[in-house]
A = this chain, B = another copy of it.
Amino acid sequence: MPRMSEAEKQRSHNRILDAAAQLFRERGVEATSVADVMKAAGMTHGGFYRHFESKEDLIAASFRHAVDDVVSDMEREETSEGRKKERQDYIAKYLSQAHVQDSRNGCPLAAMGTELARTTGAPHQVGAQALDRMAALLRDTSETGSGRGLATMALLMGTITLARLTESEEEADRALEAGRTAIELLQDHWPKDRS
């Protein structure tokens, strides 16, 4: 059936990225094989190396892809007011049962952060970059330092992880509610002079 047009190669490439981004978040990076990804993308494993140099390469690329997907809307927002609203919406969606259950399309850092942290090289790098990017978005433009953005990010990620660890929706809800309350505290009481 090969060979396909340049445009269709791009499409295949994107299908691989999408499939990888979903599977990696759902099952974890180590637990997902290149063949799994290719099958989910509707291809056999052989063609993989026409698109990526190695699995490590795919990890980095698909993670960036996933972060772009989640974050690009927010970054487009221009005004301070628009950003603030986006931020609140994002947090509300983040701390929801839907997000707890659908890790496949959820926050890449929450799903793969621990695994990326153990990596060295490209995957670790894109993880660190993603953190910068997200902390910047969660931070108020008027703020001096990155502290509150970082703390907010930590709280969001931690809360989702806890909620996913629980064994019932009720327990998950308790975790989410605690997360929401804590986020409010950060927003209302973060010291002005802290970084």
Chain A positions within 8 Å of B, measured between CB atoms, are 26-28, 30-31, 103, 109-118, 124-125, 127-128, 131, 145-148, 150-151, 153-159, 161-162, 164-167, 171, 174-175, 177-179, 181-182, 185-186, 188-191, 194-195
Asked whether, in the complex, the Cβ of A127 is within 8 Å of the Cβ of B178, the reply is no
Q: Which residue of B lies closest to A100 (CB)?
A: B117
**For the complex formed by this chain, how many copies does it contain in all?**
2
Interface residue SS majority, chain A? helix
Minimum distance in angstroms from A144 CB to a CB of chain B: 13
Most chain B CB within 10 A, of A131, A151, A156, A158, is at: A158
Q: How far is the CB of A172 from chain B (nearest CB, A)?
A: 10
Known: A161-B154, A162-B153, A182-B186. A177 touches B111 (CB 8 A): no
